[in-house]
Amino acid sequence: MRDVGFDAASHLLARYGLALHRVEGSAPIPGSYWGETEAGIIGHDVYARDDTPVHSLLHEAGHLIVLPADRRASVHTDATDSIDEENAVCVLQSLLADQIPGYGRARLFADMDAWGYTFRLGSARAYVGQDAEDAWRWLRSAGLIDDERRLQLP
């Protein structure tokens, strides 16, 4: 987060009814599934430090975005055990990345690959572009994207 800052991400998440909380220094991140520098989620809140990777923040926030507001309240650390939802979140985070000035989809894909996301076609870019039809349909049916695969911001 250090290189893109918290303001744009905070504004983006607020559009979805989420609050971004900055965790200071090297303090543990509340609600972090992976620990270390990875973002955390609890209810309608997303937690990150300056050293939290942007892709992590967008992924965890994506889990809350895809949920109805009443289901968000019960989320703590682990948002889902649904493969369909996980796939949809991977695609959604690529769309959200373009809403963060100085970040964008290309960098997100590189960061996802470097972090260790694994996809059948070998990269995040290939997955989103060539192997994610189920995720695109899921996002469309949830009203998060339009028929042209454009993000529908609230």
Is 2 contained in some domain? Answer: no
Is 134 contained in some domain? Answer: yes
Ordered DSSP codes for 109-123: HHHHHHHT---TTSS
8-57 residue pLDDT tens: 999 999 999 999 999 999 999 999 998 899 999 999 999 999 999 999 99
Please, which residues have CB within 8 angstroms of residue 105's CB and are 6 or more apart in sequence?
94, 95, 97, 98
Last residue of a domain, one of 72, 103, 122: 72
Tokens of 115: 């972090």
37 and 59 share a domain?
Answer: yes
* Number of domains comprising the chain: 2
Is 124 contained in some domain? Answer: yes
Beta bridge partners of 22: 48
What is the Rg, in whole angstroms, of the alpha carbon atoms belonging to the chain? 14
Residue 60: give the domain boundaries. Answer: 7-72
Is 147 contained in some domain? Answer: no
Are residues 10 and 20 in contact, defined by beta-carbon separation less than 8 angstroms?
yes
61 and 109 share a domain?
Answer: no
pLDDT of residue 80: 81
Lowest mean pLDDT, pick from 2-6, 44-48, 62-66, 137-141: 2-6
pTM confidence score: 0.94
88 and 66 share a domain?
Answer: no
96 and 63 share a domain?
Answer: no
Last residue of a domain, one of 47, 72, 97: 72
